[in-house]
Amino acid sequence: MNKDIDTVGLRCPEPLMVVRREMRNLAPGDTLTVKADDPSTARDFELLCTHMGYKMIKKDLNGPVLSFIMQK
């Protein structure tokens, strides 16, 4: 299953809190696609994946809206 969330307009730490909550609700192997515009999310999401054992499948840091795909 893939879930999409949009955190555009939210500022740190809100995007991270939203992603953490959504990842908890996913089954192992499911993916979460996230759109964000807070530059700190690139670092925050990488650290979350490393710390929680998730996999960063893809990240697009070009443009005003950043995009991430993470797997639980």
Catalytic machinery residues: 12
Residue 60 DSSP code: E
Q: Which amino acid is at 60?
A: D
Reading phi first (left if > 0) and then psi (alpha if -120 to 50, else beta), residue 9 is in left
Q: Is 17 helix (H, G, I), strand (E, B) or coil?
A: helix
Secondary element (H or E) of residue 50: helix 40-52
